[in-house]
A and B are shown apart, each in its own frame.
Chain A
Amino acid sequence: MTDPQRFRDALLAEWTKIRSVRSTYWTIVVAIALGIGLAAAITAGYGSSYNELDIHDRLIFDPTALSLAGLFFAQLALGVFAIVTMTAEYSSGTIRTTFAAVPQRGLVLAAKAVATGGIALVVGIGTAFGAFGVGQLILNHYGLSSSIGSPGVLRAIFGGGLYIAGLVLLALGLATIVRHTAGAITGLVAIVFIIPFVTQLLPSSLQHNVTRYLPANAGGAITATVKTQEMLGPWTGYLVFLGWTALFLGIGWFLLRTRDV
């Protein structure tokens, strides 16, 4: 990474790889559709049943976070996109062409991170704005909507994009470690959905101290505008989340440099 020209060349090449396969476009379309479609479904569901919620649930009712909840599913599609940029090279054998062309393997990982993270950031922020708009339109129907000028709302929307970008980097790190598409996707699903679910089975005293530090929970705090007890603060949470991302990328980077291909 000492040579900016080499990095620029590697990044251009990664960009060409990404734009020249169809799966890129599918995963992005699926991510946008999930993010915005689920925003509509979830806000419609909550809006129509708001009157049946108890007082506690009404107090923590967060119209912004609700409309951004679809991002938790959109993240999977973009995570798969990032995973495949690495694992498809191993399954097809192009990884040898890649490392023969760019023997500084860290440079390749950095280029892939910038390319996939950049795309995820743009798609994530765009989807978050779309989801927020659609969600508020529906909640407005029930008189429950929030507006973009309300405290924390813009941070939450941009935070949705930041969260997705971070998650995509975590997925890339995971894919670099695992090197197989199915294994890496399973790992991602476990990290994002299964482990947070399993920790709910822990005794409640322990649960709060564990759950909120998990990647998805810590990172997701940035999309909330109403803070609950179980959550870390938005930026604290995001920093913890970036720590996880750095851990996965770091292990991936170390293994990438030392393993035969």
Chain B
Amino acid sequence: MIEARALTKRYGDTLAVDKLSFTVQPGVVTGFLGPNGAGKSTTMRMVLGLDAPTSGDVTVNGKPYAAHRHPLHEVGALLEARALHGGRSAYNHLVWVAQTNAIKRARVDEVLDLVGLSEVAKKRSGGFSLGMGQRLGIATALLGDPKVLLLDEPVNGLDPEGILWVRNLLKHFASVGKTIFVSSHLMSEMSLMADRLIVIGRGKLIADASTDELIRRAGASRVRVRTPDADLLLAALSARGIEAERTDDGGLSVGGTTTEQVGEIAAASRVVLHELSLQQASLEAAFMELTEEAVEYRADARPGWEHHR
């Protein structure tokens, strides 16, 4: 479990993380969502005690990260895929990480096997592809068989097969009771991976809810109708204060209602329907809607300000 309380990080006059409070529960995959530069990486570095918060605090399994005697048994982290010395082999990289936390050597072979890098383990990691680097990063995170996994953009640079592998791996770990905290700026990926979402924009908490609830709350689902009597139905809908518009293919798109209600109105008005369906909003649309609330942030957002260092 990860608990952040009013976590704040200021760089000069920029607030990278602004009084962020959230709890990441075990047993589910929690997505950490926000556009690039929203403060996700800074937050994750603060969880790991790498960056000191300006104010507020964050604990992992009830203690500050640095207070754990063998932190790799508590938290496994992937921050950057290519945080590797190119001249060192994957095997030796894992060996030194294991030694810091008194993890036995056999575990190195286990995680290499788990991520499918056994065959290239003795080769210099400088020749690794981005995907192989990600796999090694995930192997490093898994070394201590930690209760909490913290992964910053783990599917970046992975091919579809690799993405599927990470998704299934994380779902598996969540199902056995681990706490999974995974960041991404890709909404579509999060919708497939995460059960819960913590959404931030410019360091501020925008939403903290289940993925399904978030899509619903965004209210972006619409009812699609096709009918030969479009004018009649439009009039009937607007008479009841329901907003609807014509779509390019000659159908109607109706907002703020249900298929049941539209069907009943159509029946009452004796309108023939050729199609009546619910258009589920994509997470992408839900996200756009969410971040629109923080539109004043976006207006003066300086691109790349997360990479100030």
Contact = CB atoms under 8 A, between A and B. Distances in A.
Contact of B88 (A10, A20, A102, A103): A20
A114 to B, nearest CB: 14
Interface stretch (B32-40, B98-106, B206-214): B98-106
A104 B101 CA distance: 12
Contacts of A100: 48-50, 71-72, 75, 77, 79
B99 A93 contact: no
B45 A9 contact: no
B85 interface: yes
B87 A21 contact: yes
A174 to B, nearest CB: 20
Given A16-B95, A100-B77, A101-B101, A92 B86 contact: yes
Contacts of A258: 52
Contact of B85 (A14, A92, A99): A92
A92 B79 CA distance: 12
Most buried by A among B65, B92, B309: B92
Q: How extensive is the interface on chain B, given as a class? A: 35 or more
Contact of A101 (B83, B85, B87, B100): B100
Given A96-B79, A260-B45, A260-B51, A101 B86 contact: no
Contacts, number: 88
B86 A103 contact: no
A21 B85 contact: yes
B50 A101 contact: no
Contacts of A261: 45, 50-51
B52 A101 contact: no
A88 B100 contact: no
Interface pairs A-B: 8 shortest CB-CB: A93-B83, A103-B66, A20-B92, A101-B100, A16-B96, A260-B51, A13-B99, A13-B96
Interface of B: 45, 48-52, 65-66, 68-69, 71-72, 75, 77, 79-80, 82-89, 92-93, 95-97, 99-102, 140, 309
Interface of A: 5-6, 9-10, 12-14, 16-17, 20-23, 88-89, 92-94, 96-104, 258, 260-261
Given A20-B96, A96-B48, 9 more contacts: A9-B99, A13-B97, A13-B100, A92-B82, A92-B83, A93-B84, A96-B83, A103-B49, A103-B65
